[in-house]
Amino acid sequence: MSRPPKTKRKQLPHIQTFTDRIEDDPSHHLTGPFRPQTPLGQDSSSPGLRNLPTPWSTQSHGTWTDIKTLRWVVVPTSALKILLFFFVLWANWELLSPHVAKGVPNPFTPFLFISHRIPSSSDDDPRYQKGYLDFAFLAYYIVFWSFVRQAITIYLCRPIARWFGLKKEAKLDRFGEQGYAVIYFAFTASWGVRIMSQLPTWWYNTKYFWIDYPHWDMKPELKAYYLVQAAYWCQQLIVLLLGLEKPRKDYYELVAHHFVTLWLVGWSYLINLTFIGNAVYLSMDLPDSIFAFSKLFNYIQWDRAKVITFGCFVCIWSYFRHYLNWVILYSVWFEFDLMPETSKRWSPDDGVWMVWWMKYQIFTPLVLLQALNLFWYFLIWRVAARALSNLAITDVRSDDEDDGEEDVPNDKED
């Protein structure tokens, strides 16, 4: 009696883990830019889809239309016109008021300059407090960052990217985003170091986050730094929520990060914890600048420079976003009671808010921020390990965080 022939056992399909999916995802903001890139000078986008119009093109539809439809966020000429409108009104008032309204404060000054100077502060050491006119400054600089972002992306980074041989629209967009990030975060990191050097908290001397609280009387540079940063993060949230950047698979992570950041910014400003806010800002900005720099090198395929900057980035990220952030968390939990006893009450009129449960209101967003940082830190080491193990994907079409374009068959092919 013959035996039935043996059948080959089917191999089980490879189960892709959550982290594998992220690492293989060209749309992820952290791992995507470090995937293999299309050879420079080669455009792999589909001919039939390359020139499709986008709802957020940078072409103006008319200034008033751009304002009504929020297109000023992406049209630099319209954003510039809004900025110039308020600047011209301010300048005309400065020129004409001595003749027609002498002694009347310029109503447009709060848009361009910080407000709420403390009258009793000296000219040698002027001090400022927070107030409702800060919203006018915030609104103006949201428009300002929209203009700066688009101007740098379109008129500076795109020509540089093309000079290096980048052609695909998605790649040009990403290069512009990262170029803007390098410039912005390098600027704010340098400014943050300068601000901290003027404070008793210099290089994370954390006990002074609490000693002599409330720190409601701010140096003018500290107040401007805080509000300019807040305007940047508001503008970035608008960019995300309106979908003005290419879609990303980690969209919800980024939105969560922006909301947590704005929670920290607004809350610390409201309750007069700007010293700790400056420390958190600085711990975030410097690593972001180096990270964006490393992404740029990967886009233009300067592999040795990419490896060096990525190595520097991992060290800087580890120190700033983890060690220093844990130092800040330790201070919130264990040094909170260093503040004066008179400040441990809820009295907004006196600038004090620090009842016992406020410790948790401060600690919670910092923990959430650290949790996001730890998640990204894990991915960073996975990227590094994959590079060291030479396990990177070699398909040249898996390049550039592309936007879901499909191949269109070319009838001219043999």
List the alpha helices (DSSP H) in 108-210. 109-112, 134-151, 158-163, 169-197
Strand partners, 352: 347
Residue type at position 89: L
In terms of Cα–Cα distance, which of 190, 215, 189 is closest to 201?
A: 215
> What residue segments make up the domains of the chain, in order of their start?
39-44+55-388
Render each residue's pLDDT in the chain as its tens digit; 414 residues. Answer: 555 555 555 454 444 555 555 555 555 555 555 555 555 555 444 444 344 445 567 888 888 998 888 889 999 999 999 999 999 999 999 999 888 888 889 999 999 999 999 999 999 999 999 999 999 999 999 999 999 999 999 999 999 999 999 988 888 988 999 999 999 999 999 999 999 999 999 999 999 999 999 999 999 999 999 999 999 999 988 888 887 666 666 677 777 777 888 888 898 999 999 999 999 999 999 999 999 998 999 898 888 888 888 889 999 999 999 999 999 999 999 999 999 999 999 998 888 999 999 999 999 999 999 998 998 899 889 888 876 765 443 333 234 444 444 333 344 343
User: What's the pTM?
Assistant: 0.82
Q: For the chain, report the end-to-end CA distance as a whole number of angstroms.
A: 54
pLDDT of residue 37: 55
In terms of Cβ atoms closer than 10 Å to its own Cβ (0-12, 13-18, 19+), residue 49 is middle
Decide if 277 contacts 265 (C-beta within 8 A).
Answer: yes
Decide if 264 contacts 212 (C-beta within 8 A).
Answer: no
How does pLDDT run across 190-233, given as a tens digit for each residue? 999 999 999 999 999 999 999 999 999 999 999 999 999 999 99
Cα(146)–Cα(79) distance, rounded to whole angstroms? 7
> Tell me, what DSSP letter sits at residue 78?
H
353 Cα distance to chain centroid: 29
